[in-house]
Structure 1
Amino acid sequence: MRKILIVGAGQSGLQLALGLQSEGYEVTLMSNRTADEIRSGRVMSTQCMFHTALQHERDLGINFWESQAPKIEGLGVSVAAPDSTRAVDWVGKLDGYAQSVDQRVKMAGWMETFAQRGGQLVIHGAAVSDLDYFSRTYDLVLVSAGKGELVSMFGRDASRSPYAEPQRALAVAYVHGLGPRPEHPDYDAVRCNLVPGVGELFVMPTFTTSGRADILFWEGVPGGPLDVFQGVKDPSEHLALTLELMEKFTPWEYARATRVELTDAGGTLAGRYAPTVRNPIGRLPGGGLVLGVADVVVANDPITGQGSNSASKCAASYLASITEHGDRPFDEQWMQGTFDRYWETAQHVTKWTNAMLGVPPEHVLNLIGAGGALQPVADRFANGFNDPADFENFFYEPEKAQAYLASVSGA
């Protein structure tokens, strides 16, 4: 039985650990926190997962919260006009529903499941020196801890990383008491509110430790009016700032948020990071090699909501590469090939996300604007969140966008 060590217990690490476990591998999982510490800690992300990523969980039988989490059937886009009304407002219908489960709930539950199924769970914050030892005792070491010392082993791939600095300042609040969107009170949708030159507000239904909730998520252009959360430690002050900015820049969303309260004391998060693609193979001082997973090797800005989706897709891709490899050694060539296979999917996410961080060109503004009059355009844009590869067909090049709009409008 082959022995595999996974360092990091997030979406990708745990999904991969449970998948390998189900295939009969001897899996050790290292986490720097216990399940109880995760469950009672601070929120970690916004995680709206679309159909393909959710299906990977279903395939492994680990979709434990599917019946409890809100079914997100649409994805809406609003663009603020200079007078704080909406210049654009539409909602596209998803072919398969999306869902968001607070990672405190999911990671704690998956970690307990892994241990109950006989997995070796080690609560320890791993250092490079630890991995130097472990690389000699395991057939394969995978690093899925996306922050800290371990990430420094994986060099930045400058050719795939156009941004050296963070492109957005991030601020998240989990709340109860948000009213329904009056335009579609009968179904749930993620709402993307674009405030040109300022940033974006995302509003999404979720399932958290206290049941149904909603996430209010500001992405602010650094140095701009939304970049005010750094140093804010008090959760209630964080929420007050969130609402104040909603009232100023997205009053249509603020109108349904007048009675909200935080889900819990750990329901806020703020930070920033530069979107980065890294070389997938880490070299240890003793000569051993480790393979980076998900955010360790491809970290995109959350503006397109792809983090947990990419983590799920990476775990599924790596699981296939490992199981198909049989008893052969997990050498450098295999590691590079395993990452390259995942990059076939990930490259589309990176290209799209980096495009959305910039100032949108005229043809993209035309596409977004057309969604209000042409429902097929709204639907296609919404379903691109599940399959970003489709944006190659109509989004990046003016000629393709124009041809697509002409074909839909009959012009």
Structure 2
Amino acid sequence: MRKILIVGAGQAGLQLAHGLLLAGGYEVTVMSQRPASEIRHGRVTSTQCMFGAALEMERRALGVDLWSAAGSGHRIDGLGVSVPGPDAAPAINWLGQLSQYAQSVDQRLKMAAWLELFAERGGTVVINAATVSDLDHLAALYDLVIVAAGKGDIVELFDRDAERSPYSAPQRSLAVAYVHAVRPREEHPDTSAVRFNLIPTVGELIVIPALTTSGTCDILFWEGIPGGPIDTFDQVADDPAAHLAHTLELIRRFAPWEYERCAEAELTDPGATLAGRYAPVVRHPIAALPSGRLALGIADVVVANDPITGQGSNNASRAADTYLAAILAHGDRPYDQAFMQATFDSYWARVAVCTAWTNAMLAPPPPHVLDILGAAGQHQDVADRFANGFSAPDDFADWLLDPIKASTYLAAVTAR
């Protein structure tokens, strides 16, 4: 039986671990920095919205749907965009319909449950904040070591890929609050939807319906351009109440069309806020440990995009799906450097367009993108295609990312 160690208990690490257990023939160990109880009752670690295609991969790997969206109150059926005009009212304001529902489950709730289920199914869980020396020692005991922990000293083992990493500094400051008591948007009160509010020269406010440890909620997520008025959460980072008050004041100031429905928002729990920043980066997938043994990176360890497009958990699911298929197909052959590089290359082929799209969203939108956003308010099929691109980002290469293809597509839509 082949022995595999996965360091990190997030979306990619646990999805892959469950997939290997269900496949059979693998002895799988997951190393988690914290036990499930601490994860569940700790501070929020992320935003997330998993779209239809990624949810399907997740279900296949786990063999079970722990959070069926039917009747749960956190099913997401739409994705909308608002952009203010000169009078601060939305000049662009539309809703695209998703062909497959999406959902957002607080990773404290999700990863704690997945970690417990993994142990119940016979997987080995080790609670340890692994150091490089720990990893080097353990690598001798396993056939394959996969690093799925996107933070900490271990990540520094993986070198930055300068050719695929156009940014060397954070492009947004990030501020998150999980809240109760947000009302639906008046224009679609019966459709639960992610709302992207794009505010030129300032940043983005993203509102995500979600499920947390205390029930259904909404995530208020500010992405601020560095040095701008949203890049001001450092001063309230240690005070959740002040963080929420600052969040709401910025909504009142820069996205007033969202303020009324958010005005009575209350934090879901004492750990419901998060602030920080990081530079988007692609790293080389293979790390050489001090002994010369190798470790393979996955998901955020090797491709960490800005969360502006909500693809982090989706890419993690794609990564786990890719790595699972590669491991199962590899049989009893050694997990050598060639296997590791080929596995990453297969993953990169699935997320290269997604990374290009995300990086493009961090820059001021070019004229053809503004044309698309405007056309989506006039043509429902444009709005729907944009919304469903979040589930299948490769589609954006055929229109959104290319001004000529965009013009051709819009001309065809107008003609129809």
TM-score tier after normalising by the smaller chain length: over 0.9
Aligned pair partner of 1:162 in 150, 162, 166: 166
Identity of aligned residues (%): 63
Aligned pair partner of 2:102 in 61, 83, 98: 98
Stretches of structure 1 lacking an aligned partner (at least 5 in a row): none
Cα-to-partner distance string for 1:32-58 (whole Å, 9 max, x where unaligned):
101000000011111100001100122
1:118 corresponding residue in structure 2: 122
1:345 corresponding residue in structure 2: 350
SS in 1 for 2:233: coil
Contact 1:69 1:100 in 2 (8 A): no
Counterpart Cα distance in 1 of 2:75 and 2:283? 34
Contact 1:48 1:99 in 2 (8 A): yes
Instruction: Please tell me the residue identity of whatever aligns with 2:276.
Output: G
> CA distance change for structure 1 residues 329 and 69 in 2, over 3 Å: closer, same or farther?
farther
- How much does 1:349 deviate? 1.1
- How much does 1:69 deviate? 5.4
2:19 corresponding residue in structure 1: 19
Instruction: Please tell me the residue identity of whatever aligns with 2:260.
Output: A
Counterpart Cα distance in 2 of 1:290 and 1:63? 31
1:318 corresponding residue in structure 2: 323
SS in 2 for 1:255: helix
Aligned pair partner of 2:140 in 133, 136, 139: 136
Q: Summarize the alignment of residues 185-334 of structure 1 with structure 2, pairs less than 5 Å apart.
A: 185-232=189-236, 233-334=238-339
Deviating more after overlay: 55-64 vs 230-239 = 55-64
2:59 corresponding residue in structure 1: 58
SS in 2 for 1:141: strand
Q: How many residues align?
A: 411
Counterpart Cα distance in 2 of 1:47 and 1:335? 28
Provide TM-score, normalisation by structure 1: 0.99
Counterpart Cα distance in 2 of 1:76 and 1:159? 33
Cα-to-partner distance string for 1:127-165 (whole Å, 9 max, x where unaligned):
111111111110000000001100101000000000000
SS in 2 for 1:319: helix
Cα-to-partner distance string for 1:322-344 (whole Å, 9 max, x where unaligned):
01100000000000000000001
Counterpart Cα distance in 1 of 2:337 and 2:299? 18
Instruction: Please tell me the residue identity of whatever aligns with 2:389.
Output: G
Counterpart Cα distance in 2 of 1:365 and 1:249? 19
Contact 1:76 1:192 in 2 (8 A): yes
2:47 corresponding residue in structure 1: 46
1:410 aligns with 2:404: no
Deviating more after overlay: 393-402 vs 273-282 = 393-402
Cα-to-partner distance string for 1:251-287 (whole Å, 9 max, x where unaligned):
1111101111000000000000000000000000101
Instruction: Please tell me the residue identity of whatever aligns with 2:339.
Output: W
- How much does 1:62 deviate? 3.7
Contact 1:94 1:379 in 2 (8 A): yes
Contact 1:69 1:101 in 2 (8 A): no
1:8 aligns with 2:11: no
Instruction: Please tell me the residue identity of whatever aligns with 1:57.
Output: E
Cα-to-partner distance string for 1:51-97 (whole Å, 9 max, x where unaligned):
01100122132420124351111000000123211110001001101
Instruction: Please tell me the residue identity of whatever aligns with 2:399.
Output: F
Instruction: Please tell me the residue identity of whatever aligns with 1:63.
Output: D
Counterpart Cα distance in 2 of 1:283 and 1:146? 17
Cα-to-partner distance string for 1:272-318 (whole Å, 9 max, x where unaligned):
00000000000001010000010000000000000000001100110
Q: State the superposition RMSD in angstroms.
A: 0.9
Instruction: Please tell me the residue identity of whatever aligns with 2:7.
Output: V
SS in 2 for 1:360: coil
Stretches of structure 2 lacking an aligned partner (at least 5 in a row): none
Contact 1:79 1:86 in 2 (8 A): yes
- How much does 1:8 deviate? 0.3
Counterpart Cα distance in 1 of 2:307 and 2:45? 12
Instruction: Please tell me the residue identity of whatever aligns with 2:40.
Output: R
- How much does 1:367 deviate? 0.7
Deviating more after overlay: 66-75 vs 181-190 = 66-75
Counterpart Cα distance in 1 of 2:273 and 2:88? 26
